Amino acid sequence: MISIRNLNHRYGDWPVLHDINLQLSERRIALIGANGSGKSTLARTFNGLLQPEQGEVHVNGVDVRRHPGEARRHVGFIFSDADSQIIMPTVAEDVALGLRRFKYDKARVKQEVDSLLQRYGLERHADHSAHLLSGGQKQMLALSSVLATQPKILICDEPTTLLDLHNVELFVQTLRGLEQQVILLTHQLEIIEDFDRVIVIDKGRVHFDGLPGEAIDQYKRLIRNRLAHREEAV
């Protein structure tokens, strides 16, 4: 569970987050909002990628500000551009990198890598250059490498933005089958209709927090109203 209390942040003179208070315990949670709404900034506080100016974030009881390293053991993070988090030359090496913390011997590392690649459809690419994979394969590799670290919570920041429909469906189907708590940031509203909870972030605040259907309606209404006011002002 992630607990956020009185969270505020600004970039220079630009306030980004305002008085965020949330308890995130459901298995599948989505954060939605327009570009610049603050949802990515908020998500980066969940594992210490960003330290907020004010407020507290606890991950499974761990204070992220005081113990960022321990918090990151609980939280895995997937970005929209998989290339930004693929580090090693080959597919197998990239997955193996996440296993270093466990100090396994070589045989155990190979066993774990083979299992992950098999599970996520990458077994034929073990020795291939990671950066020559297709977009969908790269995102599955990023997911495999993060899951190798055995996080309890998975934060996915618009992971399907660069994918075609087939790979969007494959990635989302994979997320649905994970045992980890998943917090998904997305603009693709159709993929979150079966989530447990959807939070609408607008101008750095929680605009709505509830079930998917109502949250999506509230978000669409917010955007329509904003466009209508813009047309009136012209």
- Does the residue 77 lie in any domain? yes
Tell me, what DSSP letter sits at residue 14?
Answer: E
- Does the residue 108 lie in any domain? no
pLDDT tens-digit map of 116-152: 999 999 999 999 999 999 999 999 999 999 999 999 9
Structure tokens at 102: 């466990």
- State the chain's mean pLDDT as an integer: 94
Q: How far apart are CA 7 and CA 17, in angstroms?
A: 7
- Res 228: pLDDT: 82
Is the pLDDT reported for residue 36 higher than 80? yes
For 70-93, give the DSSP string. Answer: HHHHHEEEE-S-GGGT--SSBHHH
Sheet holding 2-11, edge to edge: 14-24, 2-11, 54-59, 62-63
Which of 50, 51, 42 lies closest to 16, judged by CA?
Answer: 42
Q: How far apart are CA 232 and CA 168, in angstroms?
A: 37
- Res 39: pLDDT: 96
226 confidence band (pLDDT: 50, 70, 90): confident
- Does the residue 98 lie in any domain? no
231 confidence band (pLDDT: 50, 70, 90): low
Asked if residue 159 lies in contact with residue 178, where contact means CB atoms within 8 angstroms, the answer is no
- Does the residue 200 lie in any domain? yes
Angle at CA 29, nearest 5°, toward 24 and 30? 125
- Res 232: pLDDT: 60
- Which amino acid, residue 150? Q
Is the pLDDT reported for residue 205 higher than 60? yes
Q: Are strands 153-157 and 75-78 parallel, antiparallel or unpaired?
A: parallel
- Does the residue 189 lie in any domain? yes
Q: Which domain holds residue 32?
A: 2-87+149-233
- Does the residue 138 lie in any domain? no
Is the pLDDT reported for residue 234 higher than 60? no
Number of domains observed in the structure of the chain? 1
pLDDT tens-digit map of 151-201: 999 999 999 998 999 999 999 999 999 999 999 999 999 999 999 999 999
- Does the residue 219 lie in any domain? yes
CATH classification of the domain holding 193: 3.40.50.300
Asked if residue 41 lies in contact with residue 17, where contact means CB atoms within 8 angstroms, the answer is yes
Structure tokens at 152: 């309890």
227 confidence band (pLDDT: 50, 70, 90): confident
Which of 36, 17, 14, 47 lies closest to 183, judged by CA?
Answer: 47
- Which amino acid, residue 135? G
- Does the residue 93 lie in any domain? no
233 confidence band (pLDDT: 50, 70, 90): low
